[in-house]
């Protein structure tokens, strides 16, 4: 029998609060900023299909594993892993799962906050009317001016960090729970309004064709790795966020149904965001869908500034981006804050200020990546690019892989089954099989192929090995 851990933190008021919190963690810049431009860079429909397969076959089973680990441990990812390792007498190396999640969350938030600051800056630009009638040269100049001003980037980075830590410091129910109950419904309403605007004012058929027409010739090993990394990034897997949110989950809430709801909502938001953005892109011949990170901050302001009612809807769009980033950012630092509260017997105020400062300082590396440090490279990547690549394409998939192995092979089967509360033997056995065999092998293979393709290391490619 399992000695289920006792909780030291509050729990969500209801299962639905957990759904909104986990969806808020999943729905963020990954859906609205990153997904449209990486889909554009990787050929559209074929990439979307691979992304959906990664969500279904790898993301959902691993998300269930991460939630059950969190609810069993009822504490931060670090202490949950200590308790689980002691419970099953596993090697101490497995403690690293918890620590890796905490580190990944802090690193991601450090650059995430800077990008979210861009959204706040453009929100205010929309409100001031500076976007009205903007042409391509003016939009590029505005974006370059923002990136070239460390003072501007630091100001908005600081503002966003204050917004994030304000919610985290307030606690699980009064801070996190209350925030997601307000932010998530508002986010969904704004997204639907923007979708309606895009259908009326943009080239909607072209957007549908672009997102869902499948052309596998456009896929590369790097594309598949990007799809896998984004599936983990957008579901907040492997960074401890879902594990710590699972620690606050009500005792008898069904994990399987809850995770399916969260993954479904997250995927729906990503696709609707694409359908809201690409019609505007295709309605303007000067804008290309593979614009890259500047798609939202260079291309769309041109479109909004030259469309009837565009300024109003542009303001709503950047409000949407800001809220999505805010709902996600609070989950990124929560594992670290929970650990600090448990270990140091600190208050949430002390823990929030400590890790808020750490993330803020680390974020300066991203700020200066667009200026003074632009030429400082590691593996050909600047600080921001390296942090993004390391977390999204290495740490998160690796974290998910070792979680799958730990739950599938190391944890007691009865403990896992009791926590999942799955009565159907076929469903439970299928989930266990995916967790034990499909997930680790697929993640390892895709990661090696992607690294081989990115860095030109053919010896990493299993396809080359057997060709």
pLDDT in tens, 231-270: 877 787 877 888 988 888 888 788 988 899 988 888 888 8
Give the residue numbers spanning the domain of 333: 15-465
Q: Flag the least confident range among 134-148, 367-381, 452-466.
A: 452-466
Q: Is residue 1 part of a domain?
A: no
**Cα–Cα separations (whole angstroms), residue 265 to 196, 341, 412:** 19, 31, 31
Q: What pLDDT, on the 0 to 100 scale, is given for residue 40?
A: 72
Q: Bigger pLDDT: 215 or 164?
A: 164
Q: Are 106 and 361 in contact (CB under 8 A)?
A: no
466 has pLDDT over 50: no
Tens digit of pLDDT for each residue in 72-105? 988 889 999 999 999 989 999 999 998 988 999 9
Q: Is residue 393 part of a domain?
A: yes
Contact 15, 250 (CB under 8 A): yes
Q: Is residue 6 part of a domain?
A: no
Q: How confident is the model at residue 378 (pLDDT cuts 50, 70, 90)?
A: confident
* Average of per-residue pLDDT values in the chain: 83
pLDDT at position 108 is 92
Greater confidence, 285 or 105? Answer: 105
Higher-confidence residue of 370 and 154: namely 154
Asked if the model's pLDDT at residue 172 lies above 70, the reply is no
pLDDT at 455: 67
How many domains are contained in the chain? 1
| Confidence check: pLDDT of 179 > 50 | yes
* The pair of three-digit structure tokens given for residue 443, joined into one six-digit string: 């993640």
Query: Does the pLDDT at position 124 exceed 90?
Result: yes
CATH of the domain at 428: 1.20.1740.10
pTM higher than the cut 0.95 = no
Is the residue at 186 inside a domain?
Answer: yes
Residue 456 lies in a domain: yes
Mean pLDDT along residues 5-31: 69
Interacting residues of 192 by C-beta distance below 8 A, sequence separation 6+: 272
Helix-helix angle 45-53:204-212, to 10 degrees:
50
pLDDT at position 62 over 60: yes
Task: Please tell me the predicted confidence (pLDDT) of residue 1.
Answer: 39
For the residues 127-143, what does the mean pLDDT come to?
84
- What are the phi and psi torsion angles at 202 (to 5°)? -110, -175
Quick one: pLDDT at residue 467? 47
pLDDT at 445: 79
Confidence (pLDDT) at 293? 63
Average pLDDT for 410-414: 91
User: Scanning the structure block, which residue is given the tokens 């399916």?
Assistant: 260
User: What does the pLDDT look like over 341-367, one tens digit per residue?
Assistant: 988 888 989 999 999 999 999 999 999
> Which tops the pLDDT comparison, 166 or 27?
166
User: Using CA atoms, how far apart are residues 426 and 431, in angstroms rounded to an integer?
Assistant: 9
Alpha-carbon span 69 to 263, nearest angstrom: 18
Span of 24-38, 255-269, 298-312, 409-423 with lowest mean pLDDT: 24-38
d(CA 63, CA 77) in angstroms, rounded, equals: 14
Name the nearest CA neighbour of 58 among 447, 449, 464, 450.
447
In a 10 Å sphere around its CB, with 0-12 CB exposed, 13-18 middle and 19+ buried, how is residue 404 labelled?
A: buried
Quick one: average pLDDT of 116-140?
Answer: 87
CB of 397 within 8 A of CB of 443?
yes
Q: For the chain, what is the HEC assignment?
A: CCCCCCCCCCCCCCHHHHHHHHHHHHCCHHHHHHHHHHHHHCCCHHHHHHHHHHHHHHHHHHHHHHHHHHHHHCCCHHHHHHHHHHHHCCCHHHHHHHHHHHHHHHHHHHHHHHHHHHHHHHHHHHHHCCCCCCCHHHHHHHHHHHHCCHHHHHHHHHHHHHHHHHHHHHCHHHHHHHHHHHHHHHHHHHHHHHHHHHHHHCCHHHHHHHHHCCCHHHCCHHHHHHHHHHHHHHCCCCCCHHHHHHHCCCCCCCHHHHHHHHHHHHHHHHHHHHHHHHHHHHCCCCCCCCCHHHHCCCHHHHHHHCCCCHHHHHHHHHHHHHHHHHHHHHHHHHHHHHHHHHHHCCCHHHHHHHHHHHHHHHHHHHHHHCCCCCCCCECCECHHHHHHHHHHHHHHHHHHHHHHHHHHHHCCHHHHHHHHCCCCHHHHHHHHHHHHHHHHHHHHHHHHHHHHHHHCCHHHCHHHHCC
Percent of the chain with pLDDT over 70: 90
Does residue 3 sit within a domain?
no
Higher-pLDDT residue of 119 and 461 is: 119
Structure tokens at 314: 């542009």
Question: Does residue 245 lie in a domain region?
Answer: yes
The pLDDT-based confidence of 339 (bands split at 50, 70, 90) is very high
The answer to whether residue 248 is domain-embedded is: yes
Quote the pLDDT of residue 327: 81
């Amino acid at each position: 029998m399992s000695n289920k851990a006792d909780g030291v933190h509050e729990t969500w008021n209801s299962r639905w609060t957990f759904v909104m919190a986990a969806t808020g963690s999943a729905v963020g810049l990954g859906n609205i900023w990153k997904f449209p431009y990486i889909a554009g860079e990787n050929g559209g429909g074929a990439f979307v299909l691979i992304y959906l397969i990664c969500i279904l076959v790898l993301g959902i089973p691993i998300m269930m594993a991460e939630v059950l680990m969190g609810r069993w441990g009822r504490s931060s990812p670090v202490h949950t892993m200590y308790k689980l390792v002691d419970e099953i007498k596993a090697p101490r190396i497995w403690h690293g799962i918890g620590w890796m999640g905490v580190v990944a969350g802090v690193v991601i938030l450090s650059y995430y906050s800077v990008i979210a600051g861009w959204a706040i800056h453009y929100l205010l630009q929309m409100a001031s009317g500076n976007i009205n009638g903007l042409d391509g040269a003016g939009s590029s100049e505005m974006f370059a001016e923002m990136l070239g001003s460390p003072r501007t980037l630091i100001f908005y980075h600081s503002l966003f960090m204050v917004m994030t830590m304000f919610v985290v410091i307030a606690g699980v129910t009064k801070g996190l729970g209350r925030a997601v109950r307000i932010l998530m419904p508002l986010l969904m309403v704004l997204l639907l309004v923007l979708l309606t605007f895009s259908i009326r004012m943009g080239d909607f058929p072209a957007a549908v064709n672009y997102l869902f027409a499948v052309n596998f010739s456009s896929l590369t090993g790097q594309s598949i790795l990007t799809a896998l990394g984004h599936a983990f990034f957008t579901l907040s897997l492997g960074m401890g966020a879902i594990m710590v949110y699972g620690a606050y989950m009500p005792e008898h809430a069904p994990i399987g149904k809850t995770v399916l709801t969260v993954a479904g909502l997250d995927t729906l938001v990503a696709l609707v965001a694409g359908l809201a953005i690409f019609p505007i892109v295709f309605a303007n011949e000067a804008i290309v869908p593979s614009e890259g990170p500047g798609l939202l901050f260079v291309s769309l302001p041109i479109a909004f500034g030259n469309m009837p009612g565009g300024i109003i809807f542009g303001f709503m769009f950047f409000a949407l981006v800001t809220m999505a980033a805010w709902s996600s950012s609070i989950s990124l630092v929560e594992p670290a804050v929970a650990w600090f509260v448990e270990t140091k017997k600190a208050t949430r105020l002390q823990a929030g200020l400590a890790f808020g400062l750490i993330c803020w300082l680390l974020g300066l590396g991203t700020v200066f990546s667009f200026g003074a440090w632009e030429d400082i490279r590691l593996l050909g990547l600047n600080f921001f690019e390296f942090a993004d690549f390391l977390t999204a394409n290495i740490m998160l998939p690796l974290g998910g892989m070792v979680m799958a192995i730990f739950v599938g092979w190391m944890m007691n089967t009865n403990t896992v089954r009791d926590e999942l509360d799955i009565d159907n033997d076929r469903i439970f056995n299928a989930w266990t099989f995916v967790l034990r065999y499909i997930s680790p092998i697929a993640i390892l293979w895709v990661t090696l192929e992607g690294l081989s393709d990115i860095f030109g290391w053919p010896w990493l490619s299993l396809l080359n090995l057997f060709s």
